[in-house]
A and B are shown apart, each in its own frame.
Chain A
Amino acid sequence: MFSRAYKTVVTVPPLLWVTVFLLVPYLLMFCYSFWSVSPEQAIVHSWNLANYHELFQKTVYWQTLLRSMWIAVRVMLFSLLLGYPLAYFLSFYAGKRKDLLYQMVIIPLWVSYLVRAYAWKTILGSDGVLNTLLQYVHLTRHPLDFLLYSPFAVVLTLTHIYTPFAFLPIYAALEHIPRNLVEASHDLGASPAQTFWKVIFPLSIPGVVAGATFAFVLSLGDFLAPLLLGGPSGIMISNIVVSLFGAAYNWPLGAAISLGMLVIVVSLLFLSERLEKKWSFS
């Protein structure tokens, strides 16, 4: 029913735009990663593997990458631990208040990411809300200094930010479970625990995978929370990239690291897509 001209008009402009502003930039990142910087701080457009060589040789990059992944894994686990039972509660137990509670999970997403990270900074600081509260009620005499400028602060803040992201796909998956399956399980004599583990949980796995991927990938690439709350021990891989694109001025090396991140992220997306397909029941 739609003519060739119609299809061309709706296809070509977005296709061109996406090519110029998404595809070409990713390819450029790839090119940059093989270039280098001259002593006069100009980009040398000759192709070599020096950046990758440096990445594999210097342990600081590996250590930072591993630390970032460890932070991202913790954020992912905590987001799931907070998000899953919440989604389960909303979907199966909240009754009429379901919609309202759902909106309440979404609302914090409307508070700027930066502002929420900042709020945690004011809570965790050595003369912040938490420390002064603890001293006020005489639980501690001196400020606890591990609260801020530590990986702990980064994990806490990122968990706060990504829990709703983990919640959303899990909730969507739980909502899509046909309720007659659950009823059938009850009618056939399964206990609530059995129904949960044998019926509900397996059917929600695609949502869990999607939520876990969101939380992991987005926190892996974060650089603002570590800058604001991480201190020296909370530096993440993106912070290195930021400094390479800034003061350290080595775009090609920065591009090589970013490309590494891109490869990790895209492989994870493929993996989680396969997992989701494997576990989806429709």
Chain B
Amino acid sequence: MELLVSGAAGNIPRSRWLLAHAAAVFAFLYLPIAILILYSFNGQGVGGFPPHQLTFDWYRILLNDGPIWDSVLNSLKVAFAAMAISLMLGIPAALALDRAQFPGKALFRRLVLLPLILPGIITGLSLLMLFNVMGVKLSLMTIMLGHGTALISVATTEVFAGLQKLDRAQEEASLDLGANYWQTFWRVTVPNLKLPIIGAALLIFTLSMDEIAVSFFLIGRDNTLPLEIWGRLRRGITPEINAVSTIIFMFSLLTIVVWYRLRLRAEGGIDIGGELAEDSSTSTVSS
């Protein structure tokens, strides 16, 4: 294909043009991130060119900033709870969509996937009204329920895609050999879905850590990290925010690398979020 394309007449300028475009898009995507990181070391504050007085002061201030670390802890709690909720419901939901017929299946599938494509404000507000009517006080718990519910979509898509590739003969054999459904699920189904499940878990975790639109409406007294940052942005900005963002970014990058390694060792088929990209295209929301 490569040869064929570049062999065609007049095609080299075309690929050069595409290369230049790609470089420009990458610059556009990475420029703000680069600036964000650079200015986390800038003694003079977040603006101003050229940056000077490079310093680690903002990181030192960050290290001693109690409220930020409290909010990081809250975000971690929320992310783990969201991960647990959405996996505990998303895996059975994927099994149900793959294997069971029930009335309202089409609607169920649409509903599960809806929070993925719906603006966060709609998910957040509708849950706010629910909690209000039920008389539930807003707290980290309500954010956990919100994230958990919205991210079932991620667990379901990733696991459903894994199920499509799964060879059912193994489960059949397990059942024929006398294992019950519970044993078969834990010893055959789950091990075969290890990669999609880990992928979904990582994705849910990071999406929850970053989520702000839903949390914005469900927040009680305790801030998550994005909401803590949001509050500070409204009061005026310092490179301390760049510093905390840089640390979180490095952490995410590390997660991706670990995941990539894991995946390469296992096979090389699935990429994180890739199933989402393909399956959450609107046609799956409805098919």
Chain A residues at the B interface, C-beta cutoff of 8 Å = 1-3, 5-7, 9-11, 13-15, 17-18, 20-26, 28-29, 32, 82-83, 85-86, 88-90, 92-93, 95, 101-116, 118-123, 125, 127-129, 131-133, 136, 160, 163-164, 168-169, 171-172, 179, 182-183, 186, 191-192, 206-207, 209-210, 213-214, 217-218, 220-224, 228, 238, 241-242, 245, 251, 254-255, 258, 261-262, 265, 269-270, 272-273, 276-277, 280
Contacts and interface: CB of A to CB of B under 8 A. Distances in A.
Interface string B54-71: 000000000000000000
7 contacts: A15-B102, A21-B149, A28-B130, A110-B255, A127-B47, A129-B47, A192-B14
A10 B100 contact: yes
A22 to B, nearest CB: 5
B93 A210 contact: no
A210 B283 contact: yes
Contact of A192 (B10, B149, B271): B10
A48 B104 CA distance: 31
Contact of B229 (A9, A110, A114, A241): A114
Contacts of B29: 105, 108, 160, 163-164
B282 A210 contact: yes
B250 to A, nearest CB: 10
Given A7-B99, A14-B93, A108 B30 contact: yes
Contacts of A136: 49-50
A110 B4 contact: no
Query: What secondary structure prevails in chain A residues at the interface with B?
Result: helix
Contacts of A13: 89, 92
A273 B286 contact: yes
Contacts of A20: 130
Contact of B249 (A111, A122, A265): A111
B36 A119 contact: yes
A207 to B, nearest CB: 7
A132 to B, nearest CB: 4
B25 interface: yes
B181 to A, nearest CB: 5
A132 B149 contact: no
Contact of A11 (B36, B92, B285): B92
Given A128-B47, A163-B28, A192-B14, 10 more contacts: A7-B102, A113-B210, A116-B33, A119-B33, A127-B47, A221-B121, A258-B122, A269-B117, A276-B281, A280-B283
A160 to B, nearest CB: 7
B80 interface: no
Contact of A255 (B93, B129, B285): B129
A178 to B, nearest CB: 11
Contact of B281 (A82, A115, A210): A210
Interface string B137-171: 00000000100010010000000000000001001
A121 B209 CA distance: 22
Contacts of A238: 119, 121
Counting chain A CB atoms within 10 Å of each CB, the highest count among B89, B100, B256 belongs to B100
A234 to B, nearest CB: 16
Nearest to B101: A7
Interface in B19-61: 19, 21-22, 25-26, 28-33, 35-36, 39, 46-50
B175 interface: yes
B100 A29 contact: no
B213 interface: yes
Interface string B224-243: 00100110010001000110
Contacts of A270: 286
Contacts of A32: 129
Given A29-B125, A119-B35, A127-B48, A92 B1 contact: yes
B29 to A, nearest CB: 5
B127 A115 contact: no
Nearest to B39: A122
Given A106-B272, A206-B283, A258-B122, A24 B19 contact: no
Contact of B277 (A15, A171, A209): A171
A23 to B, nearest CB: 6
A5 B283 CA distance: 31
A242 B128 CA distance: 12
A15 B126 contact: no
A118 B11 contact: no
B282 A213 contact: yes
